[in-house]
Structure 1
Amino acid sequence: MTTRTLRFYRERKLVPPPRREGRIAWYSDHHLARLRTIGALLTRGHTLGGIAEILAAFEKGRDSRSAAELLGLAHTLTPPFSEETPVRLTPEELAAHFPGEDSAENLSACLDLGYLAVDGDELVHVSQRLLDASSALVGEGIPLSAVLDAGREVRTHVEAIATVFADLIRERLLASGRDPERIAEAVDRLRPYAKQVVDAELSMALDRRVRTELDAWLQDQAHGPKEP
């Protein structure tokens, strides 16, 4: 990023002013996180004016629904399927979840995935469950970069699964001729069943796949190291 671009962001109030010592301007991890958030929003098609509104909404303490509306994520027909609980963290608290893994590359990947957003001097993780799971995987020795790569791949697959259910709703409910209120009620009733189907199928698939991997590994162990 050029100094001219950075100066422009400061003038537009997108980035807070740096700490100055004489003619030297010092930018912290907070500034870096803010710049990566701006970059992620730009790639999603937001204008700088829209990004300024979003950041202002966070800084003024508006509720998450207002910020979601600015992002174009508000739900108008039914409550959201997701029941995730966002969690607020300082950069130091986030780093404590991933010892030795708090690199700029991993932070950028989290922002690009939408796992993290910047709220003043704090970070907001989109899901306590995702944060706990990621931290546990890293605790087992899996690099955070690999966890994030897996998360990106999982998202591709769950988007396809969500499309299956969305198609069912479009073809069987929205085309049924019912009034909007009854459709909304039906969709709300179907939410837990959609989750149950996915959870059951995933559990059985994991059993099959993991058992296959373990069986193959045990066979290798039983035969000992291969001859060079």
Structure 2
Amino acid sequence: MERIGFFLLLITTGLRSTKWHRLNSTCIQINDTRINRYKAIESCQEKGAGLYTFKNRAEILAFNPFLQTRNWLQVSAKKTVSGFKWSDGRNCCPANWWQTDHPKVGKDCVVLYQKNNDVRLYSVACTSEYPVLCSRSYDPTWRLVKYDEYSWLDLCGVAIMPNCDGRSCEEVCASHPDCNQFAKLSNLCINIKNDAPTDKCVVRMRPTVQLYERKFYCE
């Protein structure tokens, strides 16, 4: 549900062809210029990206409001000797993802199309021209949080992460799935979360402790 909500947020705020937007661990960009698949791949690659690959039907349906104004959207799936596949090698796609009577013989590339408030996959000729959805992964950047940006006394450490094997606090925190903030306290990294009844506070934060936050940039 959170993933779908983020899609809708991007759609309602507008996706520009020159602007990258964050979607979980992915950066996405819409190019409204209609080009064929070969040029689309080249265009995405020039930006260090590739055509977007959908993981599930919910992601496809989340594009419904966006497609009401654009109708078509080019994606990464393509026919191979063993059937339609996404660019990451996964099979594409379950029958209920396709429009009735699709895929068609001789139509080896795939686009999203919205009709009657439903979004389906259509097979098209790879030389046909459509808008493009590019995507790429991104790397986090750590920043030192300014003192007045947080209510320090309302925060507490919930997990002590020792600097093992000479790793930095950034590396230690990055290895924890839910660690987007950490504090440096002597030779320890402290995973920071908002205080909750289930939290077990390890140390109460003080202004002398440096708090870092992981920020994600797609530009």
Could you state the TM-score of these two structures normalised by the residue count of structure 2?
Answer: 0.21
Q: Choose between structure 1 and 2 for higher RCO, CA contacts under 8 A separated by at least 6 residues.
A: 2
- Larger strand proportion, structure 1 or 2? 2
Could you state the TM-score of these two structures normalised by the residue count of structure 1?
Answer: 0.21
